[in-house]
Amino acid sequence: MLIAGCGGGGGSNPGSGTGTGLGAYHSIQVTGYTALRQMLNTKNLIVGDTIQLDLTGRDKNNNLVVIKESGWTTDAPSGVATLTSDGVLTIVGASSSTYTISLVVNGVSFSSTLFASTAQDLVTGVVKNSVNPIEDVIVDFFDSTGSQVGQAYTARDGSFRASVPATAVTFTIDMSIADPGAVYYYPQYGYGADQYLSGKSCLAKLPGALSSTKVTTLPSNIVVDVRSGVPPPPPTGCLG
């Protein structure tokens, strides 16, 4: 959900602030939280979700701070989502189109894309470099025939929650939105003890059969190395 400025790293326990001092923060972005303070990317919400929208920014010490604001709006129809002025977003129905969430603060506009789908089996995980989370990484899911069956986007803390059919068995990542400046050794990434190349010819396995009654969590983080570090070893995990 990168909106303004550039993403930063670290910080899963944000402090709080008010909108009167936006100039005190950098890398200000729209962020969505569940009641349990799980971050969700608004590009992949599911029916039944209720999240709190806030701006988050980084202070002079690069700590993540929640900036409370009112005046939130969306062009999504009421059959898809409802949104209060204070930023409580509820997903009512699935959509075949994307919509926009908007907020204007002191003449500065912030926005985020909204897309809602039906609830299926849930898969969660984290994409990061050796230290910091990476936002807006696309995680693509495939069935046993190699057909794509689902997609998710990471949130500001690098986490993702994907709603996919039970037929999903493998995944890969796409850094095209998250890394336009080619800072990382993409298209390669590490997962578990192996290295993978992005694309359908080199897919990582999901941890067993999915379930509609419990969330499947990847046992290891997905790690993308920065180019300023030591190059990663050759890919070892390709499934053919």
Tell me the CATH number at 196.
Answer: 2.60.40.10
Range of the domain at 146: 121-223
The answer as to whether 240 is a domain residue is no
Q: If DSSP states are collapsed to H, E and C, what string results for the chain?
A: CCCCCCCCCCCCCCEEEEHHHHHHCEEEEEEEECCCCCEECHHHEECCCEEEEEEEEECCCCCEEEEECCCCEECCCCCCEEECCCCEEEECCCCCCCEEEEEEECCEEEEEEECEECCCEEEEEEEECCCCECCCCEEEEECCCCCEEEEEECCCCCEEEEEECCCCCEEEEECCCCCCCCCECCCEEEECCEEEECCCCCCEECCCCCCCCCCEECCCCEECCECCCCCCCCCCCCCC
The answer as to whether 234 is a domain residue is no
The answer as to whether 29 is a domain residue is yes
pLDDT single digits (tens) 187-219: 789 999 999 988 888 899 999 899 888 999 999
Q: Is the Cβ–Cβ distance between 62 and 8 less than 8 Å?
A: yes
The answer as to whether 238 is a domain residue is no
Note the pTM of the prediction, 2 decimals: 0.86
Q: Is the Cβ–Cβ distance between 177 and 41 less than 8 Å?
A: no
> Which of 83, 117, 151 represents a domain boundary (last residue)?
117
Residues 129 and 59 in one domain: no
Q: How far from the centroid of its chain's Cα atoms is residue 6's Cα? A: 15
% of residues, the chain, pLDDT over 70: 88
pLDDT per residue of the chain (240 residues) written in tens, 0 to 9: 333 333 333 344 566 655 556 888 988 999 999 999 899 999 999 999 999 999 999 898 988 899 999 999 999 999 999 999 999 999 999 999 999 999 999 899 999 999 999 999 999 999 998 788 999 999 999 999 999 999 999 999 999 999 999 999 999 999 888 887 777 656 789 999 999 988 888 899 999 899 888 999 999 999 987 776 677 777 888 754
Residues 111 and 125 in one domain: no
Q: Distances from the Cα of 91 to the Cαs of 45, 74, 95, 113, 122, in angstroms?
A: 7, 12, 10, 13, 17
> Which of 82, 117, 152 represents a domain boundary (last residue)?
117
Residues 22 and 112 in one domain: yes
Residues 127 and 97 in one domain: no
The answer as to whether 2 is a domain residue is no
The answer as to whether 65 is a domain residue is yes
Q: Distances from the Cα of 72 to the Cαs of 19, 177, 199, 217, in angstroms?
A: 13, 25, 37, 32
Q: Is the Cβ–Cβ distance between 167 and 143 less than 8 Å?
A: yes
Residues 88 and 145 in one domain: no
Residues 98 and 151 in one domain: no
Which among 189, 192, 46, 223 is positioned nearest to 122, based on CA atoms?
46
> Which of 79, 95, 117 represents a domain boundary (last residue)?
117
Q: Which residue has the tokens 């129809």?
A: 77
Q: What is the CATH number of the domain that holds 77?
A: 2.60.40.1080
Residues 89 and 22 in one domain: yes
Residues 86 and 146 in one domain: no
Residues 151 and 107 in one domain: no
Total domains in the chain come to 2
